Amino acid sequence: MEDLKIIRENISKWNSIRNEKNAISYLTSGSGFLITAEDFENWDLLAPEFINCYLAVNENNDFKIYLVDNLTDQEQDYKLNENIFEKNFQEYFDESFLNQKGTINSNLTPTEADSRIATWVLCANAWVNHKQALRQEEVTAESGEMVQVFTLPFSDLRELFSDKNLESLKATFALKFEETEALSGYEIEIILAKTEFQSKSLSEVSLVKETFADMSKGYPPSKTAINQFNLL
C-alpha cells in the first residue's frame, strides 16, 4: 500500500529529527489541527479506547498529524480516510479560544486551559531547550526525549461529539506541569476544544462557548507497550 509507505516515511522523518534544535519550528508552525465529525463516526463503529496521534513531517517539510484508532493500530489494518486520517497543522483557527467557556467531565477548568495554551505559546522555545539539557545527563536523558505520538481517550471525543450539530473539534498543543518520583516539570499535551456559537439574530454579536478535554498522554516520556504503536 503506497499510502501506508508514505505515512511510515513521514512519521520516521519526525522521529529522526525530533530531538534536534529545529524540531521546535515544526511544533510551533501552526495553531493545531481539526478532528471532524466524520472522523469520529468512522472510529465510533469500531468502539476503540484511544486515538493514536502520530507526529510526522512530509517530503515538502510540512508538519503533519496522523490519527488512527488503537484497535486498527494493533491489527495494522490501515485504510486511509477510513480509519487513519492525515491532518494539516493549521496556521490559525477561524475562531479563537474566547469567553463563556465550559467544561466536560474533566479537571481542566477554562482558566487552566487558557493558561496551559498560553504557556506553550510563550515558553515553547524554553521548554525545548530544557528538554535538550535533560538529554545531556545520563540520569535524565530519557525524560528529555521529544514526543513521537500522543494518545487521546476516545471517551473524550464521544462526549464532545454528543452534540450532533458539531462539525469538528480543535486540537492544540499546551504545556502541563507534571510531577513524578523521578522528575517534575512541564510536558507537552494536546487539548481538545469544542466551539459553540450562540446568537439570537444575525445583527447580534455571537457569544463563543468553549468546552475542553485534556486527557492526552505523550510517548515519550510515557512508556510504550509492545504492539501499541505499530507505525513507529
Domain with 88, as residue range(s), is 2-219
**Does residue 14 belong to any structural domain of this protein?**
yes
User: Is there a domain that residue 231 lies in?
Assistant: no
In-domain check, residue 232? no
Q: How confident is the model at residue 205 (pLDDT cuts 50, 70, 90)?
A: very low
In this predicted model, what pLDDT tens digit does every residue of 105-132 receive, in sequence order? 455 777 888 899 999 999 999 999 999 9
Mean pLDDT of all residues in 169-191: 86
Q: How many separate domains does the chain show?
A: 1
What single letter denotes the amino acid at residue 181?
A: E
Average the pLDDT over 28-56 and give the result: 96
Q: Assess whether pLDDT exceeds 70 at residue 36.
A: yes
Gyration radius from the chain CA atoms:
18
Residue range 95-109, pLDDT digits in tens:
444 333 444 445 577
Whether the predicted pLDDT of 92 surpasses 90 = no
In Å, how far are 11, 136, 163, 177 from 189, measured between CA atoms? 18, 23, 24, 10
Domain-embedded: residue 195 = yes
Mean pLDDT check: name the lowest of 41-50, 145-154, 176-185, 220-229. Answer: 176-185
Which grid coordinates are listed for 112?
A: 487552566
- Which of the four pLDDT bands, split at 50, 70 and 90, describes residue 24? very high
The residues that bridge with 209 in the sheet, in sequence order, are: 196
Q: Considering the domain boundaries, does residue 228 fall inside one?
A: no
Identify whether 98 is part of a domain: yes
| pLDDT of res. 202 | 53
Look at 1-5, 140-144, 180-184 and tell me which has the smallest mean pLDDT. 180-184
Q: Bridge partners of 220?
A: none
What pLDDT band is residue 94 in, cutting at 50, 70 and 90?
low
Look at residue 182 and tell me whether its pLDDT is greater than 70.
Answer: no
Nearest to 216 by CA among 65, 46, 36: 65
pTM: 0.88
Residue with cell 469500531: 46
Q: Per the domain annotation, does 230 fall within a domain?
A: no
Please tell me the distance from the alpha carbon of residue 232 to that of residue 225, in angstroms, as a whole number. Answer: 12
Residue 81 inside a domain? The answer is yes
pLDDT for residue 218:
92
Instruction: Look up cell 501499541; give the residue.
Output: 228
178/211 Cα distance (integer angstroms): 22
